[in-house]
Amino acid sequence: MFVHDDLQQRWWNLEAGLAERFGKKPDLEAILFLIGVQELGEFREKFTKEEKQDLMHVAVCHLLSPSGYYELELVDEDGWPHYKQLKPMPELNPAEQENFIKDHVLLYFEQNTL
């Protein structure tokens, strides 16, 4: 379980860094929201519930693009990115899915800063 332990430690380090920056420890959904806002490039105080869900979807698509699951198809007139799925997601149980996303989030933060 060394790989899982390394993933968990790197995740805790990311959470700690984000908590220090934002004053609150974020959960995975909050981190996906932050990535979605970053990728949208539009920072505002309020997003609707639907927009928040869309931002998390943008984040997941963006995160999985380097692994070949999605590619950016277009950016609409409002500046929202739209992705095309290229291959099906792997069949994973919920814990494996979470680790799969966390691993991609960690890669994102290695390559980008908020």
Residue 44 is predicted with a pLDDT of 85
C-alpha distance from residue 65 to each of 9, 20, 22, 78 (Å): 24, 28, 27, 22
Residue 5 is predicted with a pLDDT of 73
CB-count exposure of residue 59 (10 Å: 0-12, 13-18, 19+): buried
Residue 33 and residue 68: Cα distance in Å, rounded? 21
Residue 36 is predicted with a pLDDT of 97
Residue 114 is predicted with a pLDDT of 66
Residue ranges covered by each domain of the chain: 27-111
Do 40 and 58 form a contact (C-beta atoms < 8 A)?
Answer: yes
Residue-level pLDDT, tens digit, the chain, 114 residues: 445 679 999 999 999 999 999 999 999 999 999 999 999 998 888 999 999 999 999 999 999 999 999 999 999 999 999 999 999 999 999 999 999 999 999 999 999 876
Question: Which of 112, 104, 96, 34 shows the shortest CA–CA distance to 67?
Answer: 104
Q: What global pTM score does this model have?
A: 0.89
Give the distance, in angstroms, between the CA of residue 16 and the centroid of all CA atoms in the same chain: 17
Residue 2 is predicted with a pLDDT of 47
Residue 97 and residue 92: Cα distance in Å, rounded? 6
